[in-house]
């Protein structure tokens, strides 16, 4: 066997490996985990692993939201999800401070997140504003509103029982993972692969003109996608408020970047029409592991963001390479 033939076989094997996104993500997970364990002796401790899964719950929900929007095509993206998380939590804090039962306040906070997502949906699907511009605007608007309402101070005083979702354990598994993330992931995966709604989404994302000619309401589909994204962001705000037992005006800061990274790393096409839920879920483990490991290693926050940005660029490049091949 010549060196040239060997090189071709190695290249083909590598492309085949990358095309199998699940295998690629599992290998990436173990490689990065090994590197981070060398950087910090505290990385593989039980407390840190539980902390990663708790933080990863919110990232997973936002990754699901970002994935659905990107699958829907037309350059779909939601930069406002972090601010929706924050403002939804503030709504919960305000309602609780007014004397409302915290669980009812949480439900209304989640619905408020859906309303914020619906504003994005109307702006993009019906008014025709580009997703990047529309959600960038609401990122600033929702985040600023949270700061104005709170004046930079958190809403506290929630009862200990309210912290069950955020920090409780069921069979040593974080309650937020078992009761929220896994059920939502299963439902979304089923809908994408085995329902008319899933086929409609892939058709709209892959070829919106063909979907329109088939009698589908493309605008309605995209409006619903952003509304669902808002609801998932509201759930994220509920989880963080339950975890901290306070509604913080900076709770969702930076989560939008992690959500985009999770979606792209999980194999969702930025052109639309391709993607799943399993890939972003595995990608969530990688992203949260990177963030946690770098924090334990004492890496500056600025460099943490730079590394996440580098991961995003690399994964987009990998996606483009796979599509060309």
Tell me the pLDDT band of 241, cut-offs 50, 70 and 90: very high
Position 319 scores a pLDDT of 61
Q: What average pLDDT does the chain have?
A: 84
Tell me the pLDDT band of 4, cut-offs 50, 70 and 90: low
pLDDT at 178 over 70: yes
Q: In the structure encoding, which two tokens stand for residue 254, read together?
A: 């930076």
Tell me the pLDDT band of 109, cut-offs 50, 70 and 90: very high
* Residue 206 near residue 273, CB atoms below 8 Å: yes
Least confident of 134-143, 188-197, 262-271: 262-271
Nearest of 187, 186, 163 to residue 54 by alpha carbon: 163
* Residue 277 near residue 65, CB atoms below 8 Å: no
**pTM for the full model?**
0.86
Tell me the pLDDT band of 124, cut-offs 50, 70 and 90: very high
Backbone angles phi, psi at 170, to 5 degrees: -125, 115
Residue 220 contacts by C-beta under 8 Å, 6 or more apart in sequence? 125
Q: In the structure encoding, which two tokens stand for residue 264, read together?
A: 């792209």
Per residue in 83-100, pLDDT (tens digit) is: 999 999 999 999 999 989
pLDDT at 289 over 80: yes
Position 322 scores a pLDDT of 65
DSSP string for residues in 121-151: HIIIIII---HHHHHHHHHHHHHHHHHHHHT
| b/e burial code for range 43-77 (CB count within 10 A of at least 16 → b) | beeeebebbbbbbbbbbbbbbbbbbbbbbbbbebb
Q: 47-324 adopts what CATH topology?
A: ABC transporter involved in vitamin B12 uptake, BtuC (1.10.3470)
Query: Which 3 state secondary structure label does DSSP give 174?
Result: strand
| b/e burial code for range 104-143 (CB count within 10 A of at least 16 → b) | ebbebbbebbbebbbbbbbbbbeeeeebeebbebbbeebb
Domain ranges of the chain: 47-324
């Amino acid at each position: 066997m010549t060196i040239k033939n060997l090189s071709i076989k190695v290249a083909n094997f590598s492309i085949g490996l990358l095309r199998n996104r699940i295998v690629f993500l599992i290998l990436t997970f173990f490689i990065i985990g090994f590197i981070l364990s060398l950087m910090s002796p505290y990385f593989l401790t039980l407390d840190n692993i539980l902390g990663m899964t708790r933080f990863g719950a919110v990232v997973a929900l936002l990754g699901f939201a970002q994935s659905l929007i990107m699958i829907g095509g037309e350059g779909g993206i939601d930069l406002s999800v972090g601010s929706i998380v924050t403002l939804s939590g503030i709504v919960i804090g305000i309602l609780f401070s007014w004397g409302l039962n915290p669980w009812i306040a949480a439900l209304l906070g989640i619905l408020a997140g859906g309303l914020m997502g619906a504003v994005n949906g109307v702006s993009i699907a019906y008014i025709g504003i580009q997703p990047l511009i529309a959600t960038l605007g609401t990122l600033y608007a929702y985040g600023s509103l949270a700061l104005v309402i709170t004046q930079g101070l958190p809403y506290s005083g929630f009862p200990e029982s309210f912290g069950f979702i955020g920090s409780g354990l069921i069979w040593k598994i974080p309650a937020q993972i078992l009761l929220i993330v896994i059920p939502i992931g299963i439902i979304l995966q089923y809908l994408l692969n085995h329902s008319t709604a899933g086929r409609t989404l892939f058709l709209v994302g892959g070829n919106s003109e063909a979907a329109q000619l088939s009698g589908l309401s493309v605008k309605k589909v995209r409006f619903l996608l952003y509304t669902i994204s808002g609801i998932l962001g509201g759930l994220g705000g509920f989880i963080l408020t339950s975890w901290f037992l306070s509604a913080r005006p900076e709770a969702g800061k930076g989560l939008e970047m992690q959500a985009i990274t999770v979606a792209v790393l999980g194999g969702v096409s930025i052109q639309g029409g391709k993607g799943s839920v399993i890939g972003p879920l595995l990608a969530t483990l990688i992203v949260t592991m990177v963030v946690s490991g770098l924090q334990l290693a004492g890496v500056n926050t600025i460099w943490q963001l730079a590394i996440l940005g580098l991961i995003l660029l690399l994964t987009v490049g990998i996606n483009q390479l796979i599509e060309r091949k």
